[in-house]
Amino acid sequence: MSDHKVMLALGSNLGNRLDILKRAVARLAGAGIHIEAKSRVWETKPWGVTDQPLFLNMCAAVRTELEPLELLCLLKKTEAELGRSAGMRWGPREIDIDIIFFDSLSLKDPKLTVPHPRMHERGFVLKPLMEIAPEMIHPLFEKSVAELYDELPSSERDGMVWISEI
């Protein structure tokens, strides 16, 4: 088995958002995921569907022996255990955990696309990711996380407020 370096994005805008993020990180660590680094937690505007509560977002750099689809199953199970229910795309949710990068893998599977297909458009992903992996290179765009953040329109960089550390 090989050890994989993975970047995860976590977000919550329902319930006790900070507690849910803390519980998600703890559950992942308890499931054999080694958490190497965590960003700060940022309060951000909703993306896509804007008429909903503000989100708390963060990123984590982790190591795992799980393969991509195995990790996805673990993340979906963790989301369900923390109260996530089916809802509208980009709508409110208790917890959302996305795989942003998986090593330098480029994967298109009906269940999972890596790198995350819209991460380069989202300040709420790139800002916390910059704290823990600014030099990480997007395998398709061949640009660093910091470069992708710098290319964001100001509307995607504005309005994020540092809330806490976990």
3-state SS string for 60-94: EEEEECCCHHHHHHHHHHHHHHCCCCCCCCCCCCC
Out of 84, 103, 109, 157, pick the active-site residue.
84
Out of 17, 23, 98, 122, pick the active-site residue.
98
Q: Regarding predicted confidence, which is higher, 157 or 128?
A: 128
Specify the 3-state DSSP secondary structure of 133: coil
**Residue 137 CB coordination number (10 Å):** 15
Q: What is the mean pLDDT of residues 38-55?
A: 88
> Is pLDDT above 80 for 144?
yes
Out of 17, 27, 93, 122, pick the active-site residue.
93
Task: Please give the mean pLDDT across all residues of the chain.
Answer: 92
Q: Are 37 and 166 in contact (CB under 8 A)?
A: no
CA torsion through residues 99, 146, 137, 60, sign? negative
Superfamily of 4-116+160-165 according to CATH:
7,8-Dihydro-6-hydroxymethylpterin-pyrophosphokinase HPPK (3.30.70.560)
Partner residues linked to 165 by β-bridges: none
19 is catalytic: no
pLDDT at position 155, please? 87
Token output for 49: 């569907």
Token output for 145: 């996380």
93 is catalytic: yes
Q: What is the mean pLDDT of residues 42-62?
A: 89
What would the pLDDT profile of 75-105 be if each residue is shown by its tens digit?
999 999 998 776 656 567 889 999 999 999 9
Q: Are 57 and 42 in contact (CB under 8 A)?
A: yes
Domain ranges of the chain: 4-116+160-165
158 is catalytic: no
Token output for 3: 């050890």
Q: What is the mean pLDDT of residues 138-161?
A: 93
Q: What is the mean pLDDT of residues 131-154?
A: 96
96 is catalytic: yes
